[in-house]
Amino acid sequence: MFRPVEQTWAITGGIVEPLIGQTLLLENDFVGITAQFPLVRVNTTARVVEGAERGNLTYHGTTDLSAFPAITSHLEYHGVICL
């Protein structure tokens, strides 16, 4: 399944101090494939559209839909965010 998604990240901690306290808006071209329902395998990309000069991320992992609307995701992400 493919659908565009907007995400808002409120950065409250971490090892990159300039990001702490920032709020980022990301546009995400969500791509999910049912792994074994209610789990969805996620392989997607996102770009920062607000809150930083620019940024691009890739996500890989699973989203659990069993307790909808309280969706839980376990994602590994890689990328660059430039303030």
Average pLDDT over residues 48-57: 94
% of the chain with per-residue pLDDT over 90: 49
pLDDT at 1 over 60: no
Q: Pick the range with the lowest mean pLDDT from 5-9, 27-31, 42-46, 79-83.
A: 27-31
Contact present, 76 and 57 (Cβ < 8 Å): no
The number of residues in the chain equals: 83
Q: What is the per-residue pLDDT for 5?
A: 82
Average pLDDT over residues 16-44: 87
What band does 51 get if pLDDT is binned at 50, 70 and 90? very high
Q: Between 34 and 50, name the one with better pLDDT.
A: 50
Can you read off the two tokens belonging to residue 3?
A: 């659908």
